[in-house]
Structures are given as structure tokens and as C-alpha cells.
Structure 1
Amino acid sequence: MADVNPTRMELMKTKERIALSKKGHKLLKQKRDALILEFFKILKRAQDLRGQLTQKMDSAYQSVRIADIYHGATELENISLGMKKQIDIDIEVKNVMGVKIPSLTAKMDLVPFIQNPGYSVIGTSAKIDQAVGEFEEILQMVIKLAETETAIKRLILEIEKTKRRVNALDYILIPKLEQQKRDIAFRLDEMERDSFVSLKAIKRKLDKQKS
């Protein structure tokens, strides 16, 4: 009980600190549990996105193979080189239990194929349209996957940080304060007993002097 005065005031302050620490401990546990729930929700979303992305990539490459059969590799390459795409990504930040999580939205402006001098509009443009459309979807999915994986990393860091704080209260601060409270109470009882014994001794001495 170093550097702690065994007084009634100190005992009261220690009890208040214990109550405050327990309240903080409860709130931190609630935050930790909410973060873990959010983590698993976003993890499930990321797993679903990965599965969808794999399927979409298989489909997109199949569309490219079909377009290649109809147009040939040289024409596809010329069209791809002539296409101009402007991609703007808007970033918004969501706050989840104190964790800043980015929300990404991609906006893509594509020069229409009809404006592309390397592209022929006779008969088979739908094949390339389909391939391009699928790869645009893939890009959107990759951006969303990046968003979810960033969220997962940030949530993991915050969960670990919150766990450390909960454990510090659980195993260090609250036990230390509880022990401090017991030590002060014990010392106060000891002082009261000493005082009582001293008073009795004084009373006996006074009684002797009177008799």
C-alpha cells in the first residue's frame, strides 16, 4: 500500500475509482462484442464477394474468348487500346464504434464504342459489349472487396486494442484497486483497535489516579 494514506477519505476515493473502472470495463466489453459482431458480418460479406468475383472472372474471360473467336485477337487489341475510360472513386467514411471505415464508390465513364475508330459496328458488337460490361462489374467488385478488407483490418486492430484495455482492467487495475481498498480498510481497523486499546489504557490510568 505504498504512497496511499490509510484514511476514510482515501477509502472513499478508492471505492469510487473501483466503481468507475467497473463501469468502463462494462462499456469496453460491450464495444468489443459489438466490434466482433461487425467483424464477422463484414468477413462474411468479403467471403461472398470473393466467391462472386471468382465466378464473374470465369464468365468474363469466357466472354473474351467468345469475342476473340468472332473478332480475332488483333481487332480486340486495337479496340482495347482505343478505348478511353475515366474512373473516379468517391470515398466516404463511416464510423463504426469509433472505427473509421471507408466506403468506396467507383464512377466510370467509357467512350462509346461507336466513337472508337478501331471498332466495327457490323453484326457482332454485343460480344465485346458483354465482355466489357462484365469486366466493369469485376472492377466494381474489386473496389468493394478492397473496402471490406480494409474494414476487416481496421476492425481487427480496434478489437485487439479494446481487448488489451479490457484485460488491463480485468487483471491489473481493478484487482489492484480492490487490494488497495482491502489494505486501507485493514489499516483503518488496525488503527481503530490501537486507538481503542490506548483509550482503555488511559482510562485505567485515570481510574487508578482517582482511587
Structure 2
Amino acid sequence: MNENLKPPTREQLIDVRRQMATVQYGKELLEKKRDALLRTLEEDRRNFKKLESFFREQMRHISFIYALIRMYEGQSVLQFIKPEREHTQVDVERHTLMGCRYSQFKPLKEQVFSLSGLAYDPAMASLYVDDLLNEMKKIEEKVWLFINLKAKLSALEKELSKTMLKINTLQYILIPTLHKEESRIRDILSERERQERYAVKKLSKKKKLQGFSYFPE
């Protein structure tokens, strides 16, 4: 027999209310997670914005110095200041924040910016070349911070999107459905109790009338 065709009972009403309490508690936990993610995202976005401003400022300096080198030294000098460095080996660390997993990266060996790996003689070049290398060194020191912050922001934004989807599903679909089911069962039980009270009252009245018929005046 189909369960939906069975008359509801008080046990079913209690079970629905228990489900409502569980779902509401889960929704509150997800809202706390959402708030924590938003606070972290707000702080990281603020730091990322500062980092972007730093990179834009450094790129303006590098572009200006690069133009001066092209003007006074020529294109050939730029070929000599390319660093002769092997590919960087990267170590990956896994982190978890409020159920959100994200990766952070760092070089296996400390990367030190040195002029010894450059195929040019500093004494034979202008000061503009040194200025360019110094500006590039400033950017290199911030590259890993930029990469890790970008990776963390991407993971947190995805986790926040999934959390908001779960909250909306509970708030606008599951909780209203449980409320409707509770109301339906409660109305059926109330109507059943009203009918039972009416039947008992009618039976009691009938018995009373039968009792009077046994003892006529």
C-alpha cells in the first residue's frame, strides 16, 4: 500500500517536527560558515587589491626604465640581462578553512635573485639596467604571495557559492515543504479529533436517551 494513502499519525507529526528542527539547525550552521567565509574573503580581497596596486605601480616603473634602456642601450642589452635559471620546483601544501580546501605553493628551494647568473658586465652598462633589475627583484618577492592569495580566493569563492546554494535550498525549498507537511498532518489530526469528539458526544447522548427509556415515569 502506498505510504501517502495511509492516514497520518501523531508519530508522523513528531517526526516532521524533528526533521524541521534538524534542517533549521543545519541551516544555522551553514549561515555561520557563510559568515566566516565572507569575513575571510573580505580581508583577502582587501590584501589582494593592495597587491594588485603594488604590481601596477611596479609595472609603471619597469615600463619607464625599460623604455630608457631601449633608448640609450639598445635591444641587445636586454638579451644579456636574462637570468640563466632552471625551472622552479614547487611544493604544494593543502589547507582547510571551514570545510573549504585550497592549495598553497612555495618553491622547494629558496629563490634568491642574484646578478651572478646574468650574462652581462655591470661595469659596462648604465645605471638604468641596475634600476630595472632592482624593480624586477621587488616583483619577484611578491609573486608567491600573489599566486597563493589568488588560489585561496578562487577556492573560497567557489565554496561560498556552494554554501549559498545549500542555504537557499533549505530556506526556500526544504523548510517550506516541511512546514506544509506539518500543517497538512496537523489539520487532518485536528479534524479527526473533532469528528471523534462529535461521535463520542453523540454516542453519549444516545446512551443517555436509552437510559431514560428503561425507567419511564
TM-score, normalising length: structure 2? 0.78
Give the corresponding residue for 1:46.
Answer: 48
Per-residue deviation, 1:134:
2.8
Counterpart position of 1:183: 184
* Percent identity (aligned): 24
Residue in 1 aligned with 2:31?
29
User: What does the per-residue CA deviation read over 1:145-193, in whole Å, with 9 as the maximum and x for residues that have no partner?
Assistant: 3332333232222222211211222222112212222221221121111
1:38 shift after superposition: 1.5
Deviation track 1:86-109 (CA, whole Å, cap 9, x = no partner) reads 423332222121112222224425
* Distance in 2 between residues matched to 1:25 and 1:41, nearest whole Å: 24
Alpha-carbon distance in structure 1 between the residues aligned to 2:8 and 2:56: 68
Residue type at the aligned position of 1:43: R
Aligned equivalent of 1:169: 170
Deviations 1:73-130 (A, max 9, x none): 42441342x72344233322221211122222244256752x66x4325475976455
Match of residue 111, structure 2, among 108, 112, 122:
108
Q: How does 1:86-105 map to 2 (within 5 A)?
A: 86-105=87-106
In the alignment of these two chains, the number of paired residues is: 207
1:194 aligns with: 195
Structure with the bigger percentage of strand: 1
Name the CA distance, whole Å, in 2 between partners of 1:17 and 1:39. 32
Deviates further, 198-207 or 11-20: 198-207
Aligned to 1:154: 155
C-alpha spacing 1:142/1:112, structure 2 compared with 1 (3 Å) = closer
Tell me if the contact between 2:102 and 2:151 (Cα under 8 Å) persists in the aligned partners.
yes
Could you tell me how far 1:56 is from its partner in structure 2? 1.5
Contact 1:86 1:108 survives alignment (8 Å): no
Partner of 2:85: 84
How far off its partner does 1:22 sit?
1.1
CA RMSD of aligned residues (A): 2.9
Q: Is the 8 A contact 1:91 1:103 kept in 2?
A: yes
TM-score normalised to the size of structure 1?
A: 0.80
Q: Secondary structure at the match of 2:92?
A: strand
Counterpart amino acid of 2:95?
K
Distance 2:9 2:125 in 1: 92
Pick closer, same or farther for the CA change 1:131–1:87 going to 2, 3 Å.
farther
